[in-house]
Chain A
Amino acid sequence: MVDLWRLYMGHLQTVAQPWMKSWQQTPGHLGVAMAGEGGSELIDLTRLYWNAYDQTMGSITGMPGVGFTRELEEKLAKGFASWQQAVQAMNEYQLLMADAWSGVHEQVLREMMTLAEQGKPIQSIRDLVKLWTGAADKSFDEIFRSEKYAQVQGAFVRTYMEYRIHEQQIVDEMMKYSHIPTRTEMDEAHRNIYELRREVKALKKALRETEATNGTGKKAASSSSSSSKKSTPPARPPRRCSLNPPPRRKLRNKIRKEVYPCSRFLSPFRYDRRTPRKKLPN
């Protein structure tokens, strides 16, 4: 019983210690922040609490799951952890922005005093707005150019993007049993269409070149230029680069051998090997 009590107390201490440590350090950070250090100090302060969270409750989300739902649980836990990191990064970004805002007020007051000293006081709301926006841009520009801002902004974007990726995985998992295609499935389909479109274009180009070489089709631009030069071509409807009527079998086979020796490139069923190969229409 005593051992169990000691174990319990020991564990409680492990959990409480990081929080106690952060509380102890809080007044110091707050004091520096109030003395005018601003956002950077407040960022350090919030980091203290996030570290305490990571060392205590945060470790729960990192625990491996068991049983039938372990895969889903793991995705949810990772999603939650990435959301937590994104929130932390967003807080840091907002603190930095708050720092910039406090700089705006200082800048506005300073400029108003300078104008008053010069005998040119602000006389209308529009003048005040102009002065205020100018001062605000100056103050923000100073922050925007700092290394700190680039790091904090980069971390915010990175963590938010990681969260979006985890979020998509969870949504994909949830939608698996519905009748709605998921983002991942759509991406896969789009990629297949894109690659097929590229192949079709390459084949059409090869066909045109073969036709031009054999003298069966339109001459290529370069060869036609030496003949009749036209400076004003007649108006014609937009030419669509869509599928032309299929080539004759003989010519197509020639291209297949010469340009794409691997004939599977010609098959629209390339991506589904289970589908029996069908004859291409003439």
Chain B
Amino acid sequence: MNQKLLKGVQTLSNLTHEDVQVGQTPKEAVYQEDKLVLYRYRRVVEESKLFKVPVLICYALVNRPNVADLQENRSLIRNLVNLGMDVYLMDWGYPSRADRWLTLDDYINGYINNCVDFIREQHGLDQINLLGICQGGSMSLCYASIYTEKIKNLVVMVAPVDFHAQGKKPGLIPHWGSNLDAALMVKAMGNISGDLMNFGFLMLQPFALMIQKYVDMIDIVEDEAQLLNFLRMEEWIFDSPDLAGEAYLQFVRDFFQDNRLIKGDLMIGDRRVNLSNVTMPVLNVFAEKDHLVPPPSSQALQKYVGSKDYTESPWPVGHIGMYVSRKAQEGLAPAIAEWLKARA
């Protein structure tokens, strides 16, 4: 073990911060609004093989979207691009205290809608495909229910829909959240610190995530490639933007506590969200071992969605495994591409 540690220190000392870069699939910024940047990924297949309808990825407000493009061989985005998709990604940026008043109305009726319009205008299309991930999936559902005419196909990935649905083991987050006064937290702190959120996630399994993980690191510390994989994941986990106070409050109150997304009385600005309006084809991708979004929470979509073309795609992985596991790496992007191709 001592030898391993020594070699590990040597390997670590040969690395620099630049070696631990994430989100490296080539892309360019095509639209910017406040802190939001819309990226378009560089296409790698010839024109004739390119999907005609672009895909816009909507990631969660919690953490950074880089998990979908962690490194060359663990990248959902790169896989989609390699399969000929024209991929756009909304990067929400890092909200500062000046963004404390941003609401979900600004995010959904503002930023998402403007990005969708921008892409439609650029491509001369009436409709585009939308891929929502995690909380971004819930937001995409809201968007698709309000702006049905602009979305051709909707893909949601590990997206919570019924926030009160429980898995085999009841989730800790809803249990803790039941006694948290979100309004008071926003009043006291303005934005909700990303570090605080991260600490909450670590507390779900404090010893496995704060001790055992680093003990296990000894096994891989000699191998530079594996060590870089580990460090990139660390980079993603702890690179946590703060959450805009008002948007956080609305999400906790309306989604987590009141479960309004499935009740049909959720208001985003002056627009009502009713999932029965989501009539376009829907692909619901979820993780069977998800401890953050239990499968029944995602699967509830089938009951409420108005689409007659609804497909479920379960994966035998956890929440993060959905982006980085070998199974997902090999099969997820082709499955999405195939499903979209059939509905092009």
Contact surface of A with B, Cβ cutoff 8 Å: 125-126, 129-130, 132-134, 136-137, 140-141, 144-145, 150-151, 153-155, 157-158, 161-162, 164-165, 168, 186-187, 190-191, 193-195, 197-198, 201, 220-222, 224-225, 227-233, 235-236, 238-241
B52 within 8 A of A: yes
B179 within 8 A of A: yes
Contact in complex: B102, A194 (CB < 8 Å):
yes
B271 within 8 A of A: no
Contacts of B189 on A, CB cut-off 8 Å? 161, 164
* Distance (whole angstroms) from the CB of A22 to the closest CB of chain B: 27
Please name the 8 residue pairs, one residue from A and one from B, whose CB atoms are nearest each other, closest first: A154-B179, A241-B33, A161-B188, A133-B207, A221-B121, A238-B29, A221-B120, A164-B188
Contacts of A187 on B, CB cut-off 8 Å? 97, 100, 190
Interface residues of B in 177-207 (CB under 8 A from A): 178-181, 184-185, 187-190, 203, 205-207
B258 within 8 A of A: no
Q: Which of A150, A165, A190, A222 contacts B178 (CB 8 A)?
A: A150
Contact in complex: B181, A161 (CB < 8 Å):
yes
Contacts of B30 on A, CB cut-off 8 Å? 236, 238-239
Contact in complex: A133, B188 (CB < 8 Å):
no
Interface residues of B in 95-137 (CB under 8 A from A): 97-102, 106, 110, 114, 117-118, 120-126
* Distance (whole angstroms) from the CB of B339 to the closest CB of chain A: 20
B165 within 8 A of A: no
12 extra interchain contacts, Cβ-Cβ under 8 A, other than A191-B101, A232-B43? Answer: A129-B211, A132-B207, A133-B212, A145-B172, A161-B189, A194-B99, A194-B102, A222-B120, A227-B124, A230-B123, A239-B32, A241-B33
* Distance (whole angstroms) from the CB of B300 to the closest CB of chain A: 23
* Distance (whole angstroms) from the CB of A89 to the closest CB of chain B: 12
Contacts of B28 on A, CB cut-off 8 Å? 235, 238
Contacts of B208 on A, CB cut-off 8 Å? 133-134, 137
Contact surface of B with A, Cβ cutoff 8 Å: 1, 28-34, 37-38, 43, 47, 50, 52, 86, 97-102, 106, 110, 114, 117-118, 120-126, 170, 172, 175-176, 178-181, 184-185, 187-190, 203, 205-208, 211-212, 215, 218
A-B contact pairs, 19 of them (CB 8 A): A125-B1, A129-B211, A133-B207, A133-B212, A134-B207, A134-B212, A153-B179, A154-B179, A154-B180, A157-B181, A165-B187, A187-B100, A190-B100, A191-B101, A194-B98, A195-B101, A227-B124, A230-B124, A231-B47
Contact in complex: A229, B181 (CB < 8 Å):
no
Contact status of A137 and B205, CB under 8 A, knowing A150-B179, A157-B185, A161-B185: yes
Contacts of B184 on A, CB cut-off 8 Å? 158, 161-162, 165
Contacts of A198 on B, CB cut-off 8 Å? 106
Q: Which of A134, A155, A222 contacts B126 (CB 8 A)?
A: A222
Contact in complex: B188, A162 (CB < 8 Å):
yes
Among residues of B, the one whose C-beta sits closest to the C-beta of A125 is B1
Contact in complex: B1, A126 (CB < 8 Å):
yes
Contact in complex: A224, B121 (CB < 8 Å):
yes
Contacts of B203 on A, CB cut-off 8 Å? 144
Contacts of B185 on A, CB cut-off 8 Å? 157, 161
